[in-house]
Structure 1
Amino acid sequence: MGEATAVPTVRTLASPLESARIGRPVERLSVHGENGGSFSPVRAAIRESAADVIVLRYPAERVEWFAELLTTGRTVLLADSLVYWRLVAGRGRGAAGAPGLWTGELRDADAAGALAAEIFAGYRNHYAADPLFAACDARAGYADWARGPAAAGNCLALYGPGEGEPRAIGLATVADDGPATEILLAGVVPGERGRNRYAHLLAAVEERTRARGGTEVVISTQGHNTGVQRAWARYGFEPVRTLLTVHLVRKGLIPSA
């Protein structure tokens, strides 16, 4: 999910889609290095929130913050890490040409959602750490996250040969923030993996970034997803930072054993 833009002040933001999924108010709070190293404003934001769940992301180097979180009066669930990588646009290693493959804009929100659901079927994210999200279909979440950018014209699809006619076999949704383009979601369908298809998607985003005058591409994934990080390294990306993800749940909502 997109976290590249620094939050100018430490405050929670409503998350309507996640609130609808679990039937409880959910808010998000993202803290980056630009916010400084003090936990005090984070504590204040947590205390001011009336949400049942706060999904907090903060710099992994603030190791001491986890102990502070335990004193906020909420149940604290460690819910994964988010690793960011960066590419200077124009320095990517590209992808070898492959007959029958091409990329193009995908504006059909429903098609993008269905494709994202296929790509991310079985993928585990921070929802799995929280019993309140146990009934959520993670695929539905990825479908929702793909629909918005597609409708806004911020989705690229990778097309390849199909049965009778070409079909979309991968997608990348993006968000532009000044000189940076962030890849929000990217992947190829299971049957096309291991064939260097993913590099074609990265190349398409890099080309799009340069065409608009951008200078860098940013991408992130859960820390456990080492396979895709190897693909980024081969393409030319470099790791730049890690955020920890925790869920801060209102006391009493998670039954004790």
Structure 2
Amino acid sequence: MGFDDVTGARAVRAVESPLESARFGRTVERLTVPADSGASFSEVREAILDSAADVVVLRYPAEHVGWFARLTCLGRTAVFADSLVYWRLHAGKGHAPEPSADLRVTGLAAPTTVRKLVSSVFGAYGNHYLANPLLDPDAALAGYREWALRSAAEDGCLALECRGVAGEEPQMAGLATLEEGTRTEILLAGVISELQGRGLYAHLLKAVEDRTLARGAAEVVISTQGHNTRVQRAWARYGFEPVLTLLTVHLVRSPLPRERDPSPPARER
């Protein structure tokens, strides 16, 4: 979900999500309440009641702390699915790392490499789909791969290449996929699991900032799940600032499956 979708003043309505519906085998609609829309809960309520989708993925500004309790009374199962936190950088103000002769940023289009990088970077990422037992986690990861492949096909993907030891091929260390308009929005970004914690992520952010400045844009935005504090610390070190938090709720028509209690029944006395 792009930054433009969560800001401004737009009508509150549920929108079909064909890709998610096909991916999960259930009809999915998205309902986003933009931060500046001034929408009331009654508008959200009517949009939900009008929906026939199996799952409505609702996102709304976190300051509406009382809405979740009211969502539980609309005839659907309300599944709290974490929060989405947006951060912003004024391009040219980032705390860029020192250049490294062992690192190089390239454009990336090879589908096999994109899939491999996304699987490594996001294989353990706690995205909002994992809150909903009706949605297959493997299908969610496949969705991230498809998302990255679309960006790569549109020249919106950067790869971080790490030089190996002499005689060995360079290693692809991470990637960033972008949506570029009046600002640059980083859709997906990360370093592969075995190279995390080595300061490489900042070099990826610098490449995005440099590309943003080169095309005359002035802002970079990025988002993640609220629980992902590790990457938010990296953004803060680089110079990003938090600007917006949305809560995510899945509203499900059918009852959720019950987990079997593994403990044996208590003996009668």
User: What SS does the aligned partner of 1:132 have?
Assistant: coil
> Deviations for 1:219-250, whole angstroms, at most 9, x for unmatched residues?
11111111111100100001111110110001
Q: Higher mean Cα deviation, 101-110 or 122-131?
A: 101-110
Return 220-229 or 155-164, whichever deviates more: 155-164
Structure 2 unaligned spans of 5+: 260-269
Following superposition of structure 1 onto structure 2, how do residues 176-255 of structure 1 map, counting pairs within 5 Å? Answer: 176-178=180-182, 180-250=183-253, 252-255=254-257
Give the paired residue count. 255
Q: Given that residues 33 and 39 in structure 2 are in contact (C-alpha distance below 8 angstroms), is that contact kept between their aligned partners in structure 1?
A: no
Aligned counterpart in structure 2 of residue 174 of structure 1, from 162, 175, 178 = 178
Deviation at 1:256, TM superposition (A): 5.3
How far apart are residue 43 of structure 1 and its match? 1.7
Query: For the residues of structure 1 that align with 2:46 and 2:60, how far apart are their CA atoms?
Result: 15
Contact 2:175 2:191 in 1 (8 A): yes
Which residue identity is paired with 2:208? V
Residue among 111, 125, 128 paired with 1:126 = 128
Contact 2:3 2:221 in 1 (8 A): no
Please report how far the alpha carbon of residue 100 of structure 1 lies from its aligned counterpart in structure 2 after TM superposition: 1.9
Summarize deviations over 1:192-220 as a string: whole Å, max 9, x none: 11111000110011111111111111111
67-76 or 77-86, which moves further after superposition?
A: 67-76
Q: What does 1:85-104 correspond to in 2, within 5 Å?
A: 85-104=87-106
Structure 1 residue matching 2:36: 3-state secondary structure: helix
Q: Distance in 2 between matches of 1:136 and 1:170?
A: 21
User: Equivalent residue of 2:234, what SS?
Assistant: helix
Matches within 5 A, 1:16-31: 16-31=18-33
In 1, are the aligned partners of 2:55 and 2:252 still within 8 Å (CA)?
yes
User: Would you say the 8 A contact 1:22–1:133 is kept in 2?
Assistant: yes
**d(CA) in 1 for partners of 2:145, 2:164:** 22
TM-superposed CA distance for 1:16, in Å, is 2.2
Q: Distance in 2 between matches of 1:57 and 1:123?
A: 19
- Tell me, what secondary structure is at the counterpart of 1:133? coil
- Alpha carbon RMSD of aligned pairs, Å? 1.8
CA contact (8 A) 1:56 1:247 kept: yes
2: CA distance, partners of 1:21 / 1:162? 37
**What percentage of residue pairs aligned between the two structures are identical?**
57
Shift of 1:134: 4.1
TM-score (norm 2): 0.89
Cα distance in structure 2, aligned partners of 1:135 and 1:205: 29
Runs in 1 of length 4+ with deviation above 3 angstroms? 1-7, 134-138
1: distance between equivalents of 2:146 and 2:112?
9
AA paired with 1:88?
A: H
- C-alpha separation in 2, matches of 1:177 and 1:54: 28
**Helix, strand or coil: the match of 2:197?**
coil
Q: Which residue of 1 aligns with 2:67?
A: 65
Question: Which ranges of structure 1 fall in alignment gaps of 5 or more residues?
Answer: none
Q: 1:110 to 1:48 in 2, by over 3 A?
A: farther
Where does 1:121-160 land on structure 2 (aligned, <5 Å)? 121-134=123-136, 136-160=138-162
User: What is the letter of the counterpart of residue 2 of structure 2?
Assistant: G
Q: In the alignment, what sits opposite 1:113? A: 115
Structure with higher Rg: it is 2
